A and B are shown apart, each in its own frame.
Chain A
Amino acid sequence: MDPTGVIYLAGVGIAYAVFWRKSQDRSKSALRAGAKSFSGMLPTFIAVFGLVGLFDVFIPPALIEQWMGSSSGALSLLVGTGLGTIAAGPPAAAYPIAATLLKSGAWAPAVAAFIVSWVLVGLVSLPMESKIFGVRFAVLRNGLSMVAAAVIGLLMGVVL
């Protein structure tokens, strides 16, 4: 068994022990809330891990290299940001996909841009954001966030 997972579990266990002494009722509802979020996300997890498996076996690394490889430079960055913008779903689903991309030879800045635009930009939620905050805010924020995703991706290439 993976030691990091056990360490996290122990950490959360300790946190629960502390909160349990503070309030049993609220700790129980915390467990329920966690279980509810988990069951809500379980179908997505099943789909994403299934997809990761297919991806791993059937997508040739050469294809990833061509579209998201370091030699493709600006195109990679654009593809990463674009994929993250279109994708909708919990960030927990983005990590396994990003890991597979990296393993297949994608450029780290492109993968970073993919993750950042996944969590920061929402094409699917744009209509809702416009309705709540106004079109000007929604378009400006998402537009700037796409630029930010590409810039963060590039900077991460320097750091990593």
Chain B
Amino acid sequence: MTTANAPAKRSLAQTLKPYRLVFAVAALYAVAALASPERALQAASVALSTFVGVAPIIVAVFAGLGLVQVFVDKQAMARHLGDRAGLPALLVAAAAGTILVGPVFVIFPLLKTMRDHGTSWAIITTTLTAWAVKLPMVPLEIGFLGWRFSLARMTLTLVTAVVMGALMGRLMRGQSAERDMEAEPEAA
């Protein structure tokens, strides 16, 4: 299994990628400035005022993110989810997924470890899907799209997480795990 190498390789790509994007956008601005200096300036001022408008929210979100990262014990959460089954387990997994914080190359291996310790595919899928709720980022989402949008998206994502878990539990049945049979939830 090459999972051990994946994080290092991935994090290097991860550090380079954002800067590439900054250069690309700077190049676009250069082209825009050549085409129409006043419109390029207007674009820059829209960019700046958008950023300044949400800067306090961004600072608050990342300060909160730090708290979640340090005070939520991912390993303990994984152990807690491991030996559960059925619909209540999916609900717990959905709740756990929402406070899970971290990039793909941290979350995937963590869930893989859970899987290796016998956690059902259903639980893995539900946790992974609920991770898409991104609860710590919600203030920023509300700032840009409004609380109705954010609330509706979160609720529907959570429902999807449970449905997807049950569905994937069925579709993955018999895939490389004898323990699936006992850990499989009967909810579908």
B interface bracket (residues with beta carbon within 8 Å of A): 35 or more
Q: CB within 8 A of B25: which of A31, A54, A144, A155?
A: A54
How many Å lie between the Cα of A115 and that of B157 in the bound state?
Answer: 11
- Given known A-B contacts A43-B19, A56-B43, A120 and B132 have beta carbons under 8 A apart: yes
**Across the interface, do B175 and A54 meet the contact criterion of CB distance under 8 Å?**
no
| Cβ distance B173 to chain A, nearest Cβ, rounded Å | 11
Q: Which residues of chain A come closer than 8 Å to B172, judged between CB atoms?
A: 136-137, 140
Secondary structure class of chain B's binding surface, majority of residues: helix
Q: CB within 8 A of A141: which of B47, B128, B137?
A: B128
Q: CB within 8 A of A26: which of B3, B44, B71, B167?
A: B71
- Given known A-B contacts A43-B22, A44-B18, A137 and B64 have beta carbons under 8 A apart: no
A33 interface residue per 8 A CB criterion: yes
A83 interface residue per 8 A CB criterion: no
Q: Which residues of chain B come closer than 8 Å to A57, judged between CB atoms?
A: 39-40, 42-43, 46
B164 interface residue per 8 A CB criterion: yes
B57 interface residue per 8 A CB criterion: yes
Q: Which residues of chain B come closer than 8 Å to A44, judged between CB atoms?
A: 18, 21
Q: Which residues of chain B come closer than 8 Å to A116, judged between CB atoms?
A: 132, 153, 156-157
- Given known A-B contacts A15-B67, A37-B66, A49-B47, A5 and B56 have beta carbons under 8 A apart: yes
**Across the interface, do B152 and A54 meet the contact criterion of CB distance under 8 Å?**
no
How many Å lie between the Cα of A128 and that of B125 in the bound state?
Answer: 16
Which A residues, 1 to 60, have Cβ-Cβ distances below 8 Å to chain B?
A: 1-2, 4-6, 8-9, 11-12, 15-16, 19, 26-27, 29-35, 37-38, 40-54, 56-58
Q: Which residues of chain B come closer than 8 Å to A123, judged between CB atoms?
A: none
B91 interface residue per 8 A CB criterion: no
Q: Determine, out of A61-69, A70-78, A88-96, the stretch whose residues face the partner at the interface.
A: A88-96
Q: Nearest 7 pairs between A and B by C-beta?
A: A34-B66, A5-B56, A53-B47, A43-B18, A8-B60, A30-B66, A53-B43
Residues of B within 8 A of A (CB): 2-3, 6, 10, 14-15, 18-19, 21-22, 24-26, 28-29, 32, 39-40, 42-48, 50-51, 53-67, 69-71, 104-105, 108-109, 111-112, 115, 121, 124-125, 128-129, 132, 134, 137, 139-145, 148-149, 152-153, 156-157, 160, 164, 167-168, 171-172, 175-176
Supply 17 further A-B pairs (C-beta < 8 A) apart from A15-B67, A41-B18.
A2-B56, A5-B56, A8-B56, A8-B57, A15-B64, A29-B66, A34-B63, A37-B65, A46-B22, A52-B46, A92-B137, A95-B137, A95-B140, A95-B141, A99-B145, A132-B3, A145-B164
Residues of A within 8 A of B (CB): 1-2, 4-6, 8-9, 11-12, 15-16, 19, 26-27, 29-35, 37-38, 40-54, 56-58, 91-92, 95-96, 98-99, 102, 108, 112, 115-116, 119-120, 122, 125, 128-129, 131-134, 136-137, 140-141, 144-145, 148, 152, 155-156, 159-160
